[in-house]
Homo-oligomer: A and B are copies of this chain.
């Protein structure tokens, strides 16, 4: 419409400007023009010019997006940003694509049917004996060091960039947080970004991973699985590992919810310890069958929803499946320690608003509701496009939890965060020419520090 208008306006004004002499040119227009006084003719001309300009303007506005003229009026920075995003997306697409030029026969994934059987691997039945022999033959790789069993903390995330840009930033911070705790407590750490078993995708991925790590690291006595959305918030608290010498699994939960209510949240598989032994291999084998994606997982989901209180309708998840397993097959429970004397898992919503109160009244090392060992952001899903809670509440909570923990690490260096949402630091202790005094007092690893370290607010 715009262009038609422009063209017709141009046609109307394409002749010479009307003048008093126009009548001389003859024709209908000449006769009409002759009828109009000179002022009126000029007015008409100006009208035509206005229409032409207006229609031209409309044309440009409508078409600017199509012919890219919009870029001329955007800032150069916008253009560069757009280019950067396009390039990055192009690379990421290439990176995320599944094609391997040397692997042309890769078949599309076929879901197991209900008639198939699934197993994590060949049955191993002599793991305790095999491991014992191996440890004796390899004294340079002991499973106990200075009387303490070796623990490997295992966590991880998807191999691809997060759908939500901020997700990778919080994965990074959560990993730093775990590195700090593990360095202070002499725990090794492994960050997994690989899918070892396509069928056991999503929350089930930890099962093949646990098995593989147990069998590949016989010198590790305990594997501590921890979700990527869980943060350590007590840097001082040490797991009372001696308490579990007769157990093979330590998991946070509530006996009442488990035995009386059969609640689907009676236990939390976001943070648990798993001994490297035959019993654990057997448990994994019994746990896994509800996991394979497709009909098996869907059907299992229905069974779990029918059996467990409060469980919504969705495919089987590892947590519900474990609860179901422990309740329906009685041989496991005697070796499972249902722990709630400290926050091996601490649900974030009941914790994140109380950090200031904790700083005021309590101190690090308590590990329980007064100073939770772990603050676990269940449901926030910062890596995904959509979580179960508001973005604002989740990100603010994660920032506060991170800084609350970081203050306990920075205490040794004489700093703390300016506020629980600030990345910036303030000095709490001047530099000194006698720094070792501060090391003795503030290094968490020192026994003395356990009694005297109270990170100031």
Interface residues of A (CB under 8 A from B): 1-2, 5, 32, 35, 40, 50-51, 53-55, 57-58, 61-62, 80-81, 84, 87-88, 90-92, 94-103, 120-124, 130-131, 134, 141, 157, 159-162, 164-166, 168-169, 171-173, 175-176, 179-180, 183, 188-191, 193-196, 212-213, 215-218, 385-386, 390-392, 395-396, 399, 406, 410, 412-415, 418-419, 421-426, 431-436, 438-439, 443, 445
Q: Are B190 and A179 interface neighbours, CB within 8 A?
A: yes
Q: Residue A436 contacts which of B98, B134, B443 (CB distance < 8 angstroms)?
A: B134
Chain B nearest CB, measured from A442 CB (Å)? 8
A172 to B180, CA, bound (A): 15
21 residue pairs of the A-B complex, CB under 8 angstroms, read A2-B57, A54-B55, A57-B58, A58-B58, A58-B61, A92-B395, A94-B396, A95-B423, A97-B422, A99-B422, A102-B419, A121-B431, A122-B431, A162-B169, A168-B169, A175-B179, A176-B191, A212-B413, A215-B435, A216-B443, A218-B436
**Which residues on B sit within 8 Å (CB–CB) of A165?**
88, 161, 165, 168
State the Cβ distance, A134 to closest chain B Cβ, in Å: 5
Q: Is the CB of A88 within 8 A of B166?
A: yes
Given contacts A54-B5, A193-B176, A418-B103, whether A164 and B423 have CB atoms under 8 Å apart is: no
Please give, as numbers and ranges, the residues of chain B lying within 8 Å of A97 by CB-CB distance: 422
Of all chain B residues, the one with the shortest Cβ separation from A432 is B122
Q: Are B179 and A189 in contact (CB under 8 A)?
A: yes
Q: Which residues of B contact A99 (CB under 8 A)?
A: 422
Residues of B within 8 A of A396 (CB): 91, 94-95
Residue of B nearest to A1 (CB): B57
Return chain B residues, CB-CB under 8 Å to A62: 61
Q: Are B218 and A439 in contact (CB under 8 A)?
A: yes
Please give the distance in Å from A85's CB to the nearest CB on chain B.
8
Other contacts beyond A95-B422, A141-B445, A168-B172: 16, CB < 8 A: A1-B53, A32-B40, A80-B386, A81-B385, A91-B391, A91-B395, A91-B396, A95-B395, A95-B421, A95-B423, A180-B191, A183-B189, A194-B406, A195-B425, A216-B412, A216-B413
A259 to chain B, nearest CB (A): 35
**Nearest chain-B residue to A100 (Cβ)?**
B418
Inter-subunit contact B415/A196 (CB<8 Å)? yes
What's the nearest-Cβ distance from chain B to residue A87, in Å? 4
Instruction: Kindly provide the distance from the CB of A228 to the nearest chain B CB, expressed in whole angstroms.
Output: 10
Distance between Cα atoms of A131 and B435 in the complex (Å): 10
With both beta carbons as reference points, the residue of chain B lying nearest to A92 in the complex is identified as B166
Query: A2-B57, A57-B1 in contact; A193/B173 too (CB < 8 A)?
Result: yes
Contact A159 B423 (CB under 8 A): yes
CA–CA, A399 and B439, complex, Å: 40
In the bound complex, how far is the Cα of B32 from the Cα of A412, in angstroms? 93
* Contact, CB under 8 Å: B164 / A88: yes
Complex CA distance for A54 and B52, rounded to whole angstroms? 11
Cα-based distance from A296 to B168 in the complex (angstroms) = 36
Taking each of A123, A165, A396, A432, which has the highest tally of chain B beta carbons within 10 Å of its own beta carbon? Answer: A165
In the complex the two chains form, what is the Cα distance from A157 to B171 in whole Å? 14
- A84 CB, min distance to chain B CBs, angstroms: 6
